[in-house]
Amino acid sequence: MASERKNSTPRIEFSVVTENYISDWSFGQRFFEMLIATDARLTPEKIGNSDDLIAYGDISTFRPLWGRRVRLEGPFGPSDVLWPVAWHRSTKLESNGRTSFTDTSKKGNLIPGAISLSSAYDEATDWLRFFREICELTKAAAGFIHIPARFERRENGYSPYYPGAAGSILKKQLPNIAWATFFGPPYSHEADFAKLAEIGYHVEELAGGYLLLMSDNIMDSFNDFQTFSRRRIELKKHFRPDLFRITEEAQMP
């Protein structure tokens, strides 16, 4: 019964990936100001750099954790890494989030950073405005915001569109098309976005790239997945065949 209730409850999945360095506290402070301004019910209750979370006091509680560099021992010797920051809220609006920081590997390769957030949905929360703000703040390479239908969720055998976004970007791919997808500068030439606007898709210029919406209502992917899925299949025909890691649609029973 608990699993059925979970599947029938809409949940926001939010992910922004950036090649910009965001470990300076000025980014962290601004991000959490934007998060709480979007909806005070998203204020964290627990925060930390690992599973051992501590109580949240105010935004400044994050300062010693944000962009914290630690030394980890591994099979190829020690590595100095930027430790991700996590936060959690168990009361309304129940949510959890995580920031991993853009860094450079031992070999000098860029490791993209990412901000992800999973939250209970409430129509009073202006998620699209928040999404636009974070894409601009981070100078995002790509971003996704979506309410998965139950058919799209991992427990139903489908590989969701949203996890692994940074890994996909390292391979010059995107995971999938979400209800709102931001195609940042690295992907702004992947389609004729002006043509997409002409044929009825909502397209707007944003942060050096394009924001593309599948419909006017974020709940459409959840309430009418069949129509959403059909539109996503048609939309993908306007992009190169190997751009999206997930090529098949979730199957409805």
The alpha helices in the chain, defined as continuous H runs, are 2-7, 25-38, 127-138, 165-170, 193-198, 220-223, 225-236
Which of 131, 99, 118 is closest to 20 using CA atoms? Answer: 99
The type of residue at 154 is R
Whether residue 38 has pLDDT greater than 80: yes
Q: What pLDDT is attached to residue 157? A: 45
DSSP-based three-state secondary structure for 164: coil
Residue 253 within any structural domain of the chain: no
Burial class (CB in 10 A: 0-12, 13-18, 19+), 171: exposed
Parent domain of 113: 2-236
Which whole number is the average pLDDT over 212-229? Answer: 94
DSSP 186: G
Q: What pLDDT is attached to residue 170? A: 64
* Count of the separate structural domains present in the chain: 1
Q: What pLDDT is attached to residue 245? A: 86
Crossing angle for the helix pair 25-38 and 127-138, to the nearest 10 degrees: 170
Name the pLDDT band for 7 (thresholds 50, 70, 90): low
Residue 24 corresponds to which tokens in the numbers above? 């300076």
Which whole number is the average pLDDT over 38-49? Answer: 96
Digit-coded pLDDT (tens) for 15-28:
999 999 999 999 99
Residue 54 within any structural domain of the chain: yes
CA distance linking residue 221 with residue 140, whole number of Å: 23
Which of 25-39, 60-74, 165-179 has the highest mean predicted lDDT (pLDDT)?
25-39
Q: How many CB atoms lie within 10 A of CB 218?
A: 23
Q: What pLDDT is attached to residue 8? A: 73
Please say whether the beta carbons of 15 and 144 come within 8 A.
yes
Please say whether the beta carbons of 17 and 99 come within 8 A.
no
Q: What pLDDT is attached to residue 149? A: 87
Of the listed ranges 85-94, 124-133, 241-250, the least confidently predicted one is 241-250
Whether residue 188 has pLDDT greater than 70: yes
Buried b or exposed e, range 24-49, using 16+ CB within 10 angstroms: eeebbebbbeebeebbebbbbeebbb
Mean pLDDT of the chain: 89
Digit-coded pLDDT (tens) for 111-158:
999 999 999 999 999 999 999 999 999 999 999 999 988 878 755 444
Which whole number is the average pLDDT over 228-249? Answer: 92
Q: How far apart are the first and last CA of the chain?
A: 19
Name the pLDDT band for 3 (thresholds 50, 70, 90): very low
